Structures are given as structure tokens and as C-alpha cells.
Structure 1
Amino acid sequence: MRKLALSDEVLLKIQQPARYIGGEVNMAVKDLEKVDIRFAMCFPDVYEIGMSHLGMQILYDMFNRREDIYCERIFSPWTDLDQIMREEKIPLFALESQDPIKEFDFIGITLQYEMCYTNILQVLDLGQIPLHQKDRTEEDPIIIGGGPCAYNPEPLAEFFDMFYIGEGETVYFQLMDIWKENKKNGGTRKSFLEMAAEIDGIYVPSFYDVTYKEDGTVKAMKPNNPHAKETVVKQMVAEMDDVYYIENPVVPFIKVTQDRVVLEVMRGCIRGCRFCQAGNVYRPLREHSLEYLKAYASKLLKSTGHEEISLSSLSSSDYSHLEGIVNFLIDEFKGKGVNISLPSLRIDAFSLDVMSKVQDIRKSSLTFAPEAGSQRLRDVINKGLSEEIILKGASEAFRGGWNRVKLYFMLGLPTETVEDMEGIAELSEKVAEVYYEIPKDQRNGKVQVVASSSFFVPKPFTPFQWAKMCTNEEFLQRAHLVKDKFRKMLNQKSLKYNYHEADLTILEGVLARGDRKTSALVEEAYKNGAIYDSWSEHFKNHIWKKAFETCGLDADFYTIRERDLEEVFPWDFIDSGVSKEFLKREWQNAINGSVTPNCRQHCTGCGAMKFKGGVCYEAKN
């Protein structure tokens, strides 16, 4: 019988106690006497969000295939348990063994979203681990950060021993092996970090010094340790079929956000949207073979008992064998009660045909992401989607039986004008009009068009990393302008418009392009009660405003200031594969409204070819 870290009395007091007890289907169980390394994989958000993250499931499965490593899981305790753990001084624990996380050798933290940064400090704090890497002793775990936000690790530099830049399947085992070697030789924490710094893709922030100019921008970032590299190069899987995939995903007891089997069909994207960080840092596009996917689809459904399988990628329509894998899934699981989910599809005749085969049209809605209301602005962001394509796709969808459409836009994009903003309402109206062109007796009830706009945040390693952001007031003015335009539309009863929170977006913008000085901001906000900032009901903007004042930092410096082309960025020491010269060219193309062809149409020399794989070499194979 497993001994739980929380007493029955505590479990009866909190929401969803199943978040904390482990014991799920396919959970890894190992004899601690027979393992050399204890690794805790952490997602700094609530269990239901973390258990839906594909990357965490892949690495959990990968680590536990090695007999000498026991990988366990940690999630942020929800606010009710957080309070109890502080009051009763209960140390944070891992789900599998229920042991305190301070007893582990490594804690690997997924950096998925800037607004989870205070939750990282919550995990360390409740785990009774010093927040600052400089205060940790030989007895403390090594804290590693990885994931998309690791491409600008500087706002978290004070809290992490190292960052892993790139895809987890590449050098993690090398890192584990040198840890064992260092321990066997009686090495210290510092000697391990020095050995780690020599591995490609590993960044040890304490081995670098940052200097600043008088205007507050970065002057230089230089290694202060001979083992540290001037440039840290992203690590990437070149051949997707050669790496691990999950065979036995952990199946939660409770409903989680993505309660289904996830089949990753490819990584990267060919499209080159200029606002999209993932589309740049995961270049080049690399595909799994059809046979690989067929084999894993069957294994995953069998090992989990899930009744839905989702094809995962940044743009599933660009997967070369999409028709093949969809037809296989339909044929293989026909009559077995398995649903097929197809996110990230471009709405064209083929995609609609596929979706009509696998979805209950009366229950589902279609999603388009025009991102901008006008063709001019879609060209600026290189969206590669014309109004004609959008309306044609909507028309074919409506004639196919759908009557609900979701449209996603961004407000505050570079060069945006009033006409671009009003175009959001006008395009939504045109989509509704397409529905009413269908003869009344052939319509499927009333049409509903829901338009949502998020606010634009410039991200590192995108052509828009030089762009300025709007202020909080400007964002809200733009949202209200769009809302007013919706009220003037003839089909306003068929239209609905939503927009995100502006103050949260401003903070995301600060942390996305922040430097090492913003570590103090995150810590100050956390110490004053900031936690679960990504959840609107828990976001406390006044705490962050006070933290800016206390730390002597100006949010405007990080947000509304347009960067000079020659400015040194806090993340310039990382080689993500796309060159800064390419991003500069794309920034200029954006200003000129010039469209860049996708990777399969024409190579634009972004720099990713050096990884020797994927779409860059398709024509040569």
C-alpha cells in the first residue's frame, strides 16, 4: 500500500484530491534501491493543464525506459492546498513516490508560458529549495528549465542552475551520464555544471556576466567560466522516426484539458508567420512517416483506453501523409467508438472533406485564424491567407452542414490602422453573409460567427522581436473600436465578439523580452502573493505594479519601445537556427507589406538548413 504525502483529513478539505495522489493507469513504478538518478518532471500549473502537455508525457516515458532513472511528476498545488501546505509546513512532493522533491537529483521545469513564472517560485518554495541558484548546496536538486520560454531564459536566470535549449530527446541522456560520472568521481555541484556547460544546448546562467549600457539595454553577455560557450546552439531531432514516442501515456483519474491520445505527426512549420515564435524556433519542419504513426496510434489507444485521438502539429494540413493517416484511423477504428480530432487544419476542400468524415457536424464548430482583418495586414504578418480563401472555405463548410465558425484575430500588430481593426468586424460579417447565400431550405439552422481577438505580444526569435507593443489603454481602445463596429453590422445577431485582458498582455510582453533584471520583478511579485497569473480570476495586477516600483523597473522600457536593428538582445547568445540577418530581412519585408513564400515553395535562407534534416532536404531525397 502506497503511503500518501497528504493525510485523509487534508485530502477531504481540498478540490480534486486526485490531483495529488498519483497511482494512475500507466504511472511508472520503480524500486528506489535500483535507480541511480531521481528526476522530477515539473509543469508549473494545475494538474489538469500539466497532464495535457505532450512534451512532458514524451520525456516522462523516455526517461523511465532507462532502468537507472526514475522520472516522477510534479504540478503546482492549487490555491486551496497551497495555503494548507504553508500553514502545516508540508513539503511539496512528487506524485509517484510521494517523496519530498528536495530529495531528488534533478527537477526539470517546463517553461511553456510567461504567466506561469511565479508558479515556478511556488514549486521551489513549497519544495523547501532555495529560490536562487547561488544559495543552493550540494544537497539540493539541480534545477533545469526547458521548453519554448527557455529561448529567452534571462527573466528566470537567477532561479535556474541550467537551461536546456532545444528538443528534449537529443542530449538529456548525455547530461544524465555525466552526472553519474561526476558523482562516481566525487565531483561537486560546480564541477557537474562545468561538465554540463560543455554539452551543446546547455546554458548555465551563473557562468555568464551581463553588462548594460547607460540607456538600460544590454551591452554584452560574456562567459565568466572557461567551460561555458559564447553561443548556445539549439538541439534538434533531425529524423523524427529515430526518436522515442510515448507508448504508455499516463491516464488521469479525473478529466483533464486534453483528455485524449495525442499523436504528433510532425514538428515545425513551413508557413513563416512573422508573429509566431514556435514557427521559427522549431524550424525546419520534420515529419513522421505514415508507418510510424500507424504503429503508435494502435499502441496508444490500446494502452490507454481513450476514446479519442488527436493529430498534433503546428499546421496539420501541411503534413504530407494527412490523407493516409486519417483514412487509416477511420478504417482501423470504425465502429469502435473512437473519435478523431484534427486541430490546426487550413480550411480547404480536402480538410472539410476529412472533417466531415470524422466529426459530428451538428456538434462541432470550425475554426479559422485570419489573425488580421484586412489583406494588407495579413501580408504584413505573412499569414498567407486571402479573404477569397477564407470565404470560399466558409462557404464550403456551410454547404457541408456546419453552421458555427470561430475566427481568431490579433489586435495591436505592427502597422495596424483603423481600417485593419474595423476589418475584423467586416470580415466576420462577410462570413455570415456567405451562409445566407445558401437557399433557406438547405441551411442547418441559424449561423453563429464568434470572433475573438488576443493582443499582440512580440516574441524573441521572430521578425517582430524589434516591434513595439501598444499600451494597456491603446489595446482597450482598439478592442472597443472593433466592438463598436460589430454593433453596426447588419447581421449583428449572428455575430459575437470577445477580447482578452490587456493588463495581462502587457506583463506577458515584459517577461517575453525581459532581461536578467526582471528576475527580481518575478520574485518580488511572488513574495507579495502573485500566483496562477495565467488564470484571470487569480491575476492581481496591483501586485505587479507595486513590484515594478519596488524593483525600479519601467514596464514601458520592455514593451512600447521599438528596438534599434543593432540592439543586443538578452537572448542573442542563443542560436535558434534562424539567423538574426534573416529575421531582420523579414522585419523589413513586414514593414513593406511583402509576402515571403513558404518553405516548400522556395527556400529563403533562414539558416535552419544547417540542421541537415526536414523540409530543407525534401527535394533532395
Structure 2
Amino acid sequence: MRDFGGRLPVALAVPGAEGLALSALGWQAVWRLLTDDQALAVERVFCRPDEAPMAEDSGRPLADFPVVAFSLCYEEDYLPAAAALTAADIPLTRDKRPDFPIVMGGGPLAFLNPAPFLPALDLLFVGEAEAGLPEVLAALRRAVLSGADKAACLAAVAHMPGVLVPGVTRTPVARACATDADAATVLADPAHSCFVSGHAAFRDMFLVEVNRGCPYGCRFCAAGYVYRPPRQARMAALQTLIEDVSPRKVGLVGTALTDWPDLLPFLAWLRERGTKFSLSSVRADGITPELLTILRQAGLRTLTLALEAPSERLRRAANKHLSLDALENAVALAGKYGINHLKFYVIVGWPGECPEDFDDLAPLLARVAEAASIGKGKRGVAHATLSVNPLVPKPATPMQWAPMASVAAIEAAYARVREAAKPLPGFRVEVENASMARMQGLLARGDERLFPLIEAAAASGSFRRALKTWDGDEAFYLDRERDKDEVFPWDIVDIGVSRDFLWREWERYQQGVPTAKCPPAGCAVCKRCR
């Protein structure tokens, strides 16, 4: 092992171009945490297509780093991560890599389902980086710089909280969670941008995390389960952060922004100091005249709302706490306060979905159009977009037992949505490619037998091309309802929500029975899902 001058070089790699990395809060949170340790020499690596990966600042090739750490956020990240290792002449599987580098993985996929990519990894960090990742890297540094070989370095961290070393660590590994024992519902260290750039997907915007997790328990949403307990930032902490950085524009990131009690005073504070801002999607029941006044004064012209399922029956089954009266009120206020564009998220392909569920959609859209005066000239909302996506039944949710809709069923549902929106002026429909959604589902629900598919995709540059030559059984992973006691590939991680609770929620989905949202007092009192 080379002498690194007392510091451990770590390549913090993002499977994608610079613009994606600079808009990923999790990756930037890890950057901040690790660069605080002066004993680590952390460098950024953006894994661009058809390029040998190198550190952005030093130009050091990826293979020269003793530790390569990938941030894995989406299933599609597997392809560029595998391609980067291959382009760097690093053996793709750990069994062919007895010597350094140590290839790590972390991010949301690490505590959803890391199994498909696990053959490529020497070490997986399961959980939130603030809950132990710096300590793991510090222990690796001590082992590496003491002259220990790779196996000894991995053994030194294999039993630390949140660490999974394949073949060494006993599973399941509990998700490391950054909570304060005295304030379990407080997000003590909200993530924020370390880099503000015109090259980012959110250009020239300083992103700040307002809340983590969601209390509503929508049965299809992984974020509502894997980030429990729901936590909210303190306004004073965010104000201090903004004052230290003095950004021109702030983007507020969270799953339930309008649940944050300090939202209105914080936005008013930003406006008073002349800082522009934007919000991710908000809940219909959180739209008020006060909020829209502030948003319009800040120049916001688009409002995004989640309608989710096409019928009230399916929304109830999905535990989507949406009042149609609140939705109508929200869009009416949008028209009154000068919102130019409404965007609605719609999901199709639900378990048990039938053509009759779409009978509710046309009158609902007509009701929305009338309330917001959509497409009726200057006195209302100019236009509306229905962004329609298929349900991908994700691990660690009640949907993990459900089959995924076929391409034909998804396309039929798209046609029904288009038919419902067709008579309404000002409406347009955008849809996700059904085959690509099924590919995401395959990677989300797969096991290590999918790794040859990932290898082939890295070689060919496309999952679609690789699927044509893959000899696996797609239907086994996607097209069957799972038994209650089936062992899942993702059972190697424990997200902190019990399997029994998820099964009860799956039964309640089938029965159409809602479940109350997480209580404000937090898990210490509730313990419902443990």
C-alpha cells in the first residue's frame, strides 16, 4: 500500500454527470461530513458516460483511490456505477477484487434493496450518513494506514452500526438513523447544498432540507417508511445557515413542506431579506391565501399537487389522505392568486385497479378545471399538466407483496387518462415510458441474480438492450403477488418498520381501510410500526 501522507484518499463518486450530483442533497451531505475530517482526502468523481472516471480537482484516476464510495439514489444508477468501474479498469465484482480499492455503496438504495448491485460492493453503509458514516471512514483510515490488507480493513468495520460487509456481517443490518433521543421529531442537522452552480439541475439554487420522512403513511411511498421517524428542521437552524451562506435563491426540499409549522414565517423572512425561493410539491390541504400570497410575490407561477390515484376508492386504499374539497379549494385559490400552471401527479397500475376507477377521473378533472378556471383566458389558470406514472411496487412498503402492472395494462390506463382530459381546454398529459418503468421495477425488486443484467447493461450502454439477451425470468420478479412469509432479497436490511406492520398495511390496502398518520409526538410514544 502506498504512503498517503497520513490522509486516506476517498473518491466520492456519483453515477452521473455533474448537474445531477450538484442537485443531490444526500451526496452533498456526505461530502460535507467527510471533508470535515482533515485525515480524509475526499475528492469528487462524476461518472460521465464514455469517459474514464477521474477526480474533478486533482485528475487522479479512480483506480488510484484505496476507497471508492458510490452514492446510489435510483435503480438506474447501477448502470453508470458499473460502467465507471469497468472504465477505470477496476474488476466489477468483489470476488475478482481481492486487493484495493474498497468499493462502497450508500444512499437510499442501500436501505431499500441493495441486492442487485451487492456483488460489486465490498462494503455497504445502510442508513443516514450522519448516523455513523464518518466513524466508519475514520476506522478504515486507521486500518489502511496501519498497513492492513483489504480483508483486515473490512473486518475492522464489519460490525460497526450500519455496516454490511457481504459474507462477514450478520444480517439483517439495522438502518442507521440520525435521531436525537431528547427530540426524536427534530431534524438536528438538515442537509444542504455544498455547491451552487449554473450546471446543476436546479440552477444557481441553494437547497435546504426542511423535513425528512413523511407522517402520512401512503402505502406506495418508500420515503414514508424508510425515513421514519418523520423529522422537521428548526427554523432558527435554517436561518443561521442562510445567513452564513447568503445565497441568492433557496430551494426548500421535503416530503411534507406544508406540515412544517414554520413554513410561512420562514418564507416571509426570506422575502424580507430579498432571497428568492422555490418549493417542491405541496399538499392541497396546506394551500392557503397567505401561502399563495407569499409565493406569488416571490414570482412563483407553477403549483404542483399530488392527485395520485384516478379514483377515490384507490386513494383510500393507498392511504392517500386527500380531501377533494381541499383539492378544489386549493386550485380555486391558485386561479384567484394568479398561478399560471397547475401540475398534478397521477399514478396508475394499482393492484386491483379496474376500468371503473377511471370513471371518477373525468368529473374530478372537470371539477378542478371549473374551480381554477383552467384554460379560460386571463381570469384563471392558463394550463394544467397531468404527469402520469405507473406504480412501481417498492421494497420496504406494503406494496412489496404486490405484482406490477403489465405494459399493456399501463398503456390502457394512460389511454383512459387521456380520454378523461381530452374534453378539457388547457390540459395536457405526460406519461412515463411503461417499459422503462417495468425495468425500474425489476431492479427495485430483484436479487443478486440480476447482476449479470447490470453487467450486460454496462457493456452495451442500455438496460433495454441488455434485457434482450438476459436469460432471467422477469415475470418472477414483477408479475406475481408474493406470499406473506416469502423471504425477500431486501430482508438483509432492517429499516426499523416491522414486517408485520407492513403486512397489515397491505391487508388494509386490499380492504380499502385507511390508517391514521404518524402522531406529532413521534415514535417514542407511538411504536405502532415497530
C-alpha separation in 2, matches of 1:255 and 1:265: 20
Structure 1 residue 374 corresponds to structure 2 residue 311: yes
Aligned partner of residue 44 in structure 2, secondary structure: strand
State the 1:461 CA deviation: 0.4
State the Cα deviation string for residues 312-362 of structure 1 (Å, max 9, x = none).
11111111322332222222x13xxx2111223223465452232133587
Q: Verify the 8 A CA contact 1:230 1:573 in the aligned structure 2.
A: yes
Match for residue 520 of structure 1?
452
| Matched ranges for 1:19-38 at <5 A | 36-38=7-9
Tell me the CA shift for residue 259 of structure 1.
3.1
Bigger CA radius of gyration:
1
Residue 594 of structure 1 aligns to a residue whose secondary structure is: coil
The alignment status of 1:238 with 2:179, answered yes or no, reads yes
Opposite residue 238 of structure 1, the aligned amino acid is T
The equivalent position to 2:195 in structure 1, one of 225, 243, 250, is 250
Q: Identify the residue that residue 55 of structure 1 maps to in structure 2.
A: 26
1:147 aligns with 107
Structure 1 gap segments, 5+ residues each? 1-31, 86-90, 208-224, 534-540, 611-621
Q: 2:483 aligns with which of 564, 567, 583?
A: 564
Alpha-carbon offset, residue 453 of structure 1: 0.7
| 1:470-526, Cα deviation, whole Å (9 max, x unpaired) | 111111122112223333x3xx22221121100001111111010111111111222
The Cα of 1:186 is off from its aligned counterpart by 3.1
Say if 1:340 and 1:359, in contact at 8 Å, map to a contact too. no
Letter of the structure 2 residue corresponding to residue 580 of structure 1? R
The answer to whether the 8 A contact 2:333-2:372 is kept is no
Normalising by the residue count of structure 2, what TM-score does the alignment of the two structures yield?
Answer: 0.92
1:485 aligns with 2:420: yes
The alignment's TM-score, normalised by the length of structure 1, stands at 0.79
Judging changes above 3 Å, is the alpha-carbon distance between structure 1 residues 437 and 52 closer, same or farther for their aligned structure 2 residues?
Answer: closer
Deviations 1:231-288 (A, max 9, x none): 2000011135654855x82233635435301111221110101000011000001122
Unaligned residue ranges in structure 2 (runs of 5+): 181-185
Paired residues of 1:366 and 1:406 also in contact (CA < 8 A): yes
CA distance in 1, matches of 2:446, 2:380: 49
Q: Report the AA paired with residue 483 of structure 2.
A: D
Q: How large is the RMSD of aligned CA atoms in angstroms?
A: 2.5
In structure 1, C-alpha distance between the alignment counterparts of 2:200 and 2:113, rounded to whole Å: 33
CA distance in 1, matches of 2:269, 2:31: 28
- Secondary structure in structure 2 of the residue aligned to 1:598: coil
In the alignment, which residue of structure 2 is the partner of 1:453? 388
d(CA) in 2 for partners of 1:339, 1:65: 29
Structural mapping, 1:345-424, within 5 Å? 345-348=282-285, 351-359=288-296, 364-424=301-361
- Aligned partner of 1:117 in structure 2 is 78
Deviates more, 1:155-164 or 1:413-422: 413-422
Residues 1:293 and 1:235: Cα distance change in structure 2 (over 3 Å): same
Could you report, residue by residue, the CA deviation over 1:551-607 in whole angstroms, capped at 9, with x for unpaired residues? x21111111111111111011121101110000010011111111111127989985
Counterpart of 1:405 in 2: which secondary structure? strand
State how 1:204-283 maps to structure 2 within 5 Å.
204-205=165-166, 207=167, 225=168, 228-239=169-180, 242-243=188-189, 249-252=194-197, 254=199, 256-283=201-228
Report the CA distance shift for 1:602/1:561 in structure 2 as closer, same or farther (over 3 A): farther
Seq. identity, %: 29
Q: Which residue of 2 is the match for residue 222 of structure 1?
A: none
Aligned to 2:119, the other structure's residue is in SS state: coil
Q: Is the 8 A contact 1:339 1:359 kept in 2?
A: no
CA shift, 1:410, in A, is 0.4
Q: Secondary structure at the match of 2:491?
A: coil
- How far apart, CA to CA, are the structure 1 residues paired with 2:310 and 2:299? 28
In the TM superposition, residue 37 of structure 1 has moved relative to its aligned partner by 1.0
The one of 257, 264, 270 equivalent to 1:329 is 270
Q: Which of 27, 39, 44 matches 1:73?
A: 44
Moved more, 404-413 or 444-453: 444-453
Distance 1:570 1:269, change over 3 A: same
C-alpha separation between the residues in 2 aligned to 1:178 and 1:255? 33
Distance 1:406 1:244, change over 3 A: closer
Change in Cα spacing, 1:408 to 1:527, as seen in structure 2 (3 Å) is same
Q: For residue 155 of structure 1, what is the amino acid of its counterpart?
A: P
Residues 376/351 of structure 1: CA separation in 2 closer, same or farther (3 Å cut) = same
Query: Which residue of structure 2 aligns with residue 286 of structure 1?
Result: 231
The 3-state SS of whatever aligns with 2:306 is: strand
Structure 1 residue aligned with 2:183: none
CA contact (8 A) 1:525 1:547 kept: no
Change (3 A) 1:203 1:348: same
Matches within 5 A, 1:534-549: 541=464, 543-548=465-470
CA contact (8 A) 1:475 1:502 kept: yes
- Distance (whole Å) between structure 2 residues aligned to residue 194 and residue 608 of structure 1: 36
SS in 1 for 2:11: strand
- Answer yes or no: is 1:161 the counterpart of 2:80: no
Distance 1:529 1:170, change over 3 A: same
Q: State how far apart, in whole Å, the 1-side matches of 2:107 and 2:133 are.
A: 13
CA, structure 1 residues 122+499, in 2 after alignment: closer, same or farther (shift >3 Å)?
A: same
* 1:255–1:514 distance in 2 versus 1, CA, 3 Å: closer
